[in-house]
Structure 1
Amino acid sequence: MSDDFSARSADTAAEGAEGPDLDRARDGDDAAFTRLVEPLRRELHAHCYRMLGSTHDADDALQDALLRAWRGLARFEGRSSLRSWLYTVATRTCLDTVERRGKRALPVDLGPSSDRAVVGDAPLGDIAWLGPYPDAGLGDGRLSPDARYEQREAVELAFVAALQHLPGNQRAALLLFEVLGFSAAEIATMMDTSTTSVNSALARARRIVAEKVPSRTQQQTLRDIGDARLREIAVGYSAALERGDADGLVALLTEDVTWSMPPLAHWYRGLDAVTDFAVRVPLTGCGSWRHLPTSANGQSAVGFYLWDDDAGAHLGWSITVLTLRGARIAEITSFIGRDHFPLFGLPASLP
């Protein structure tokens, strides 16, 4: 992540701790408190998602953090910016959640890939699954185009998935330093530890993340291929699924493509395995598909709908996030579940 982005984010997002709204909020004016925190709500939510790997958990954590901040506002002495103090409260809230719930996973974390399609694969309900993030509006209105670009880079699927392999303190230190631009000394105060401990946590976190995150981000790839080509790829993938067109689908994929579908445990790697799965399950075994384009984790995504006889409509099935390498699809991650659709502002069903 860029140090320039960290500085820009801190400069543009920080709100002055002085002023009548702070005084009113300390006196119990909840409308004044809302005005203080509203400009920071979106970036705080993204921080909670990076920490927790779930939009639903991020919703709960942010709500809890703001309630804690509201109740503890009298203790805010203005020695740091309000933004720094709110990040302290949000980070500690997320660390409490991490301690209770542990990390979130993708199917690739659970075991080796399957060589052939597993028909009738059953969801695993006892796994805390990583979820997609609706990035529409991330950094809207207050950040430069480059800063918005880097905010999306910091919610990319590979990066958030890699964070889940870190203990909570390392996760928090890396995000606060690399993404948000706080100094090691500031982080030590925020996390109630020593600067030495923060630097040690950062060193370990960087090693693990570097092993798991591609050197080239999706934002760099998307910039290179351009919006028009990106739309062509997403539309081509969606149309091939709707038509049952195996050749059209395969033409869009890399040789080492992967396809995973949380909460299903089985996943597939390589063109042969992915093609076998695609032909036997979504292309011929599921029925009629419809789709709507969207964006998730700073990446191209598609909301897929599957025909349901009882409902007499296509019901929301998955938010599928596409990870590209060049102009081909290298990873397909289909987050199955109707509960994802409201988060993306997508309808529950299509005709």
Structure 2
Amino acid sequence: MVEDEFNALVEPLRRELVVHCYRMMGSIHDAEEQVQETYIRAWRAFHGFERRSSVRTWLYKIATNTCLTALQSRTRRPVPTGLGQPAADPRGPLEARLEIDWLEPLPDAMIWAEGSSDPAEVVITKDSVRLAYIAALQLLTAQQRAVIILREVLQWRAQEVADALDLSVASVNSSLQRARAHLAGIDAETLPPIDPSDERTATLIKDFADAFEQYDVTKIVSLLADDAIWEMPPFLGWYQGAENIGALISNHCPADGPGDQLITFTWANGAPVLALYMRSSDGSHRAFQLQQLTIGDGLVQHVECYFDTRLFAAFGLPDVYPAD
């Protein structure tokens, strides 16, 4: 049957298409939506697919153009540090901007659930989905974003990109040059991928989680780099400096003491994530925030703290911390 043939060809590519659409859209929810639309468009066009290119190339072309269409009616997904305002006062009020569509993390389980036998491939893949890179892509125009992903992540030739996007090669090269200029600063600051098996890193992650569970702000501060950055969409402000971050937690965290916060571990964008559950009035611990850690030189360099608790479901995490 034609439907069986179609499914056999396209389903093995679903995971990588989700990642591709995530790079374009900056949201796991938008990415899944666009992959579904990609499959609908591919099914409608399947009778005319002459296999002059591979199924993978054909689907990536459809997916890229599907995302470009969607981006015509969507705004960029920023992080607070990408909005251009200076660091905020950790003792000041918090201003939430719920109307902004913020950048979302991508669970590692949706990328590498089956692993890879090629270590070099894993490094490249992690590099192409690291949060700083995805955030920088959001500063590009949709066309620049598509071009640099196709050219530098997927390693397509300029003519292939031009054919896929209905552009001239000159337009492709111009978009690539501008995109590279925007991303140059990000690439220069890239930290090496985190190795989950590294004992020093594992200890740091555990100590950071323990410090929150004990509500030990002094310990938290000691595990942060002196110039660490903390940002927490949907709140507009971002904060820099270990001491300032400590003041932020002391002034605004609803925990009162040890046991108010419980943590479980997961990963996103190749980085560790602490899923934090806060004690509620009925004594249960409920989903509160996800803390995505950037680690370097044995310290936490950056924390992207997501307060959208709907993300817990994307990570396969419960709304309530399981009772013992």
AA at the equivalent of 2:23 = R
Aligned to 1:263: 234
CA distance in 2, matches of 1:218, 1:309: 42
Count of paired positions: 319
CA distance in 2, matches of 1:259, 1:158: 13
Q: Which of 157, 164, 182 does residue 138 from structure 2 map onto?
A: 164
Are 2:64 and 1:91 equivalent residues in the alignment?
Answer: yes
- Residues 213 and 265 of structure 1: is their aligned pair in 2 closer, same or farther, counting only changes over 3 Å? farther
Aligned to 1:47: 20
* Helix, strand or coil at the partner of 2:56: helix
Are 2:161 and 1:187 equivalent residues in the alignment?
Answer: yes
AA at the equivalent of 2:236 = A
Show structure 1 runs of 5+ residues with no match.
1-23
- Residues 327 and 166 of structure 1: is their aligned pair in 2 closer, same or farther, counting only changes over 3 Å? same
Whether the aligned pair in 1 keeps the contact of 2:221 and 2:243 (CA below 8 Å) is no
Aligned to 2:29: 56
Seq. identity, %? 36
* Helix, strand or coil at the partner of 1:162: helix
Aligned to 1:106: 79
Q: Deviation at 1:137?
A: 5.1
Alignment of 1:329-340 (within 5 A): 329-340=300-311
Are 2:121 and 1:150 equivalent residues in the alignment?
Answer: no
Whether the aligned pair in 2 keeps the contact of 1:316 and 1:337 (CA below 8 Å) is no
CA distance in 2, matches of 1:91, 1:254: 38
* C-alpha distance after superposition, 1:145-204 (max 9, x if no partner): 321232122111000000000000100010011111111110000101111111111110
Q: Deviation at 1:280?
A: 1.9
- Residues 214 and 292 of structure 1: is their aligned pair in 2 closer, same or farther, counting only changes over 3 Å? farther
CA distance in 1, matches of 2:244, 2:66: 42
Alignment of 1:1-351 (within 5 A): 24-25=1-2, 29=3, 31-110=4-83, 111-119=85-93, 121-136=94-109, 138-139=111-112, 140=114, 144-219=118-193, 222-223=194-195, 227-282=198-253, 284=255, 288-310=260-282, 312-350=283-321, 351=323
Whether the aligned pair in 2 keeps the contact of 1:218 and 1:323 (CA below 8 Å) is no
CA distance in 2, matches of 1:273, 1:118: 11
* Helix, strand or coil at the partner of 2:306: strand
* Helix, strand or coil at the partner of 2:239: strand
AA at the equivalent of 2:26 = G
Aligned to 1:17: none
AA at the equivalent of 1:301 = V
CA distance in 1, matches of 2:123, 2:186: 21
Whether the aligned pair in 1 keeps the contact of 2:228 and 2:240 (CA below 8 Å) is yes
CA distance in 2, matches of 1:239, 1:56: 31
CA distance in 2, matches of 1:83, 1:331: 36
CA distance in 1, matches of 2:291, 2:138: 20
Whether the aligned pair in 2 keeps the contact of 1:92 and 1:191 (CA below 8 Å) is yes
- Residues 151 and 236 of structure 1: is their aligned pair in 2 closer, same or farther, counting only changes over 3 Å? same
Q: Deviation at 1:32?
A: 2.6
Q: Deviation at 1:118?
A: 3.3
- Residues 141 and 241 of structure 1: is their aligned pair in 2 closer, same or farther, counting only changes over 3 Å? closer
* Helix, strand or coil at the partner of 2:310: helix
TM-score between both structures, scaled by the size of structure 2: 0.93
Q: Deviation at 1:39?
A: 1.5
Show structure 2 runs of 5+ residues with no match.
none
Whether the aligned pair in 1 keeps the contact of 2:90 and 2:251 (CA below 8 Å) is no
AA at the equivalent of 2:289 = S
Deviating above 4 A after TM superposition, structure 1's stretches of 4 or more consecutive aligned residues are 283-287
TM-score between both structures, scaled by the size of structure 1: 0.86
Whether the aligned pair in 2 keeps the contact of 1:303 and 1:319 (CA below 8 Å) is yes
AA at the equivalent of 1:315 = R
- Residues 300 and 250 of structure 1: is their aligned pair in 2 closer, same or farther, counting only changes over 3 Å? same
AA at the equivalent of 2:154 = L
CA distance in 2, matches of 1:75, 1:272: 61
* C-alpha distance after superposition, 1:300-319 (max 9, x if no partner): 11111111114x41111112
CA distance in 1, matches of 2:11, 2:298: 38
CA distance in 1, matches of 2:274, 2:184: 28
CA distance in 2, matches of 1:309, 1:32: 54
* Helix, strand or coil at the partner of 1:292: strand
